[in-house]
Chains A and B, each alone.
Chain A
Amino acid sequence: MYLTQFLLLAAFLFCTGVYGVIARKNAVLVLMSIELILNAVNINLVAFGAFQGFETSIVGQVFSLFVVAVAAAEVGVGLAIVLLIFRNRASIDLTEVDLMKG
């Protein structure tokens, strides 16, 4: 097992997530893509933790758990916003939500 394989997996997931965030119009899919990015980071953390050299270290895994917890909260808030947008405009197309246009 090599660290590089984990990092490549994480990089693939990260790129998929970035593509989803930028390219998808559906707000729910964008949120899901954000999860992909976070999980790519988690994989990196766990992998770096595992291959650090200290056999018994769980620092990476603890870090990942925190990220998962924060991500759960973030998705909760995000989904609530998406829900309210849908109620107001009967659409969750992100290209239409541009009230902040300068």
Chain B
Amino acid sequence: MLEYAWAIPAITVASFVVILLFGRRLPRKGAEVGVLALAVCFLLSCVMVGEWISRPADLEVEPAEEHAALVGGGFLGGSLYASAAQVAAAVPEGGEGGGAEEHHVEPIRKPVVKEVTWFENGQIAIKAGIHIDGLAIALLFVVSLISLLVHVFSLSYMAEDIRETHYFASLSLFTSGMFVLVTASNTLQALFGWELMGLCSFMLIGHWWDRDGNKNYNAAMKAFFTTRTGDIGLLVGISILFFAAGETFNIQAINDAALNGEISHTVLLVAASALLVAAIGKSAQFPLHTWLPDAMAGPTPVSALIHAATMVVAGVYLVARLYGVFWEAFDIAGGGWNPIALVGGITILIAAAMAFVQSDIKKVLAYSTVSQLGYMVMALGVGAWTAAIFHLFTHAFFKACLFLGAGSISHSGSHHSFEFSDMGGLRKKMPWTFATFLVATLALAGVPPLAGFWSKDEILLGAGENGYQAFLIVGLVGAFMTAAYMTRCVYLAFFGEPRGNAAHHHPHESPPLIVVPLIVLAVLSAVAGLLNTPLALLFGEWTENQTVLTAGQEHHEFALVTAALSVAVAAGGILTAYLYYWRGVRTGIKADGAGKPIYKLLQNKYYLDALYENVIVRGIREPIARAAYWFNQNVLDGVVNGVATLARALARFTYNVIDQRGIDGAVNGAGAASGASGGLLRTIQTGRVQQYAAFLFGAVGVFAVVLVLTAS
């Protein structure tokens, strides 16, 4: 089955085409096709997960020699094919590198690679195909599951929507974009999937483009342009790597080349920086995170699918997939700090801070997503690859659950509003939504034994043990803030007195098609973390691939201290928020007094939007507009006017010479000739009979003479 993984994107693309062509004629406007296609994809990916787990681990990967040397304290730039003897010599030197001595060769499952030639250009054959390893399997499973649940949820949520057909078609195409990206064996193919997702997210965010003035439309434009800013980085990075790795797009080949030191460090650094920009754009990292909260203008299931579980993790996936490049370029094994970890760390804190001041439940979740993506990026930056992927995996479940929960609230509780001022006291009216939301919140906050605890703990552990102590602190502060803002969110939505629409519109529980996906996701949020506990590190064993092992990612023993710390900060966060809201310190949504300037700063999103729009966009737009105007006036208009003048001269020549003289001359000439001949003949038409008789006899006389002359 694993060789046929290409069928999964193929099915969703087929579903897109079918929905688009025949959707309108079907009873549910094409929704049934989408649900069916995703159900098949989910079943296929379940089968593939089973096959992958039962696949024998027969590929032995040795950590690159260079790594041992690195831990030993020196970066041996050029000598990359160090002999075993050198390694043996290097290892004891680095006495402090705890894990360095116990490198044991770990057998992993061999990836399934199947490629066909896509096209040939000169001597280079560009291949297209699938590269299925544990990472791809994990992503396929998550994406197909979340997408299936979102489809089911949408059946009820988007019923009677005016563009239901287009909605489901875009959803299918979007899912195929993600599938193409995760199964891609080369970067060019990955770029296809990446751009497909960008396009579909644009269509889905702007799904209600005709509502609420320009808000939805602008949000879609903003998402598209912001992610495109990053996409330029992807294009640059891919191009550099293509040439650097010996004219190949193959991801495995690029990773191998990077880890073997076949690519110079400078080139790798440039390529990795470009790719990091791409990841920042797609995964909504600081400073390009501003599009994601605005993208909440789209339908809520879209937010759950795109902006929580799949599309935004594409950036994280990209870094994870090309980890060899980043590992070498940013010297991740070295400790201290590096750009990836820094971006992730900053994002965690600024996004979490903004989540406190939002008055819209989806915006809280959006900033929470940004912040959690920061964790994943930071984890990749500190060398905790497995932890990052594991966090991606668990986060998908609880964040999708939270988003769909928010959708459920708006659908049945707050009368299509996402404002906290229309909620409150919903816990009794919507018990299932409340219960699932609470489970997902606790999972996100990192309360053991729910999923978020295990994955976040691993990230913190990785940061602490790999020599990134500063980021351990950032992670802990972030965990505190996460717990606190999610508690605030739960309080404002489900506790207190009903306000606004919640008070006036009789909130009730949502229909089963909405509640069932919530329950499934809540259960997964609770138990998914058990895949990678100290008792059984299954997730790591299943997903870690050749690249990561060659790079030599460290594995760390479960540390009770870190775990206790993370539980303590989570509990502290919850407790603080509890005291603040329940114990009557504050009940309102807004702050005043000393907190006001900070509140204002956060409310205005650190003035980043203002910076982008007023300084950068206007700064770029206006000179360009002026230049374009000048160009238009002087060059384009000149050309246009020149052509027009030429055409006029030509027309005048045609008119004067050909038309007036030639054609009209012929016509008039014929007229004038017949007029003149008529005038001439007219003089003999006197009307006098006798004259005619004279002519007659004259003519007879002439003929008689002629006759006589010719006869004789």
Contact = CB atoms under 8 A, between A and B. Distances in A.
Given A18-B697, A22-B694, A22-B697, A101 B689 contact: no
A21 B693 contact: yes
Contact of A102 (B687, B689, B694): B687
B686 A101 contact: yes
A30 B690 CA distance: 9
Contacts of B682: 102
Interface in A47-102: 94-95, 97-102
A100 B681 CA distance: 14
Contacts of A100: 685, 687
A74 to B, nearest CB: 15
Interface in A12-46: 18, 21-23, 30
B685 to A, nearest CB: 3
Contacts of A23: 690
A99 B697 CA distance: 22
Nearest to B697: A18
B690 A101 contact: no
Contacts of A95: 688, 690
B511 to A, nearest CB: 102
Nearest to B701: A18
19 contacts: A21-B693, A21-B697, A22-B690, A22-B693, A22-B694, A22-B697, A30-B690, A97-B687, A97-B688, A97-B689, A98-B686, A99-B687, A101-B686, A101-B687, A101-B688, A102-B681, A102-B685, A102-B686, A102-B687
Contacts of B690: 21-23, 30, 94-95
Contacts of A22: 690, 693-694, 697
Closest 4 pairs (CB-CB, A-B) = A102-B685, A101-B687, A98-B687, A100-B687
A94 B689 CA distance: 7
Nearest to A27: B689
Nearest to A97: B689
Given A101-B686, A101-B688, A102-B681, 9 more contacts: A21-B690, A22-B694, A94-B689, A95-B688, A95-B690, A97-B687, A97-B689, A101-B687, A102-B682
A75 B689 CA distance: 16
Interface of A: 18, 21-23, 30, 94-95, 97-102
A23 B687 CA distance: 16
Which has the most chain B C-beta neighbours within 10 Å: A18, A95, A102? A102
Contacts of A102: 681-682, 685-687
Q: Interface residue tally of chain B, by bracket?
A: 10 to 19
A98 B688 CA distance: 5
B694 A94 contact: no
Nearest to A34: B693
Interface of B: 681-682, 685-690, 693-694, 697
Contacts of A98: 686-688
Contacts of B686: 98, 101-102
B521 to A, nearest CB: 108
A101 B686 CA distance: 4
Contacts of B697: 18, 21-22
Nearest to B693: A21
Nearest to A37: B697
A99 to B, nearest CB: 6
Nearest to A101: B687
Contacts of B694: 22
Contacts of B681: 102
A65 B455 CA distance: 144
Nearest to B684: A102
Nearest to B700: A18
Nearest to A14: B697
Which has the most chain A C-beta neighbours within 10 Å: B681, B686, B689, B697? B689
A12 B246 CA distance: 128
A18 B694 CA distance: 8
A94 B697 CA distance: 18
A101 B688 CA distance: 7
B103 to A, nearest CB: 126
A98 B685 CA distance: 10
A33 B696 CA distance: 15
Nearest to A100: B687
A22 B700 CA distance: 14
A88 to B, nearest CB: 16
A94 B686 CA distance: 12
B622 to A, nearest CB: 82
Contact of B685 (A21, A97, A101): A101
A18 B697 CA distance: 8
Contacts of B693: 21-22
B116 to A, nearest CB: 94
Nearest to B682: A102
Nearest to A25: B690
A6 to B, nearest CB: 19
Contacts of B687: 97-102
A101 B682 CA distance: 8
Contacts of A94: 688-690
Contacts of A30: 690
B697 to A, nearest CB: 6
B692 to A, nearest CB: 9
A1 B416 CA distance: 141
Nearest to B686: A101
A32 B694 CA distance: 17
A33 to B, nearest CB: 10
A14 to B, nearest CB: 10
A22 B689 CA distance: 9
B54 to A, nearest CB: 117
A23 B694 CA distance: 9
A22 B682 CA distance: 21
A101 B685 CA distance: 6
Which has the most chain B C-beta neighbours within 10 Å: A22, A23, A99? A22
A82 B392 CA distance: 126
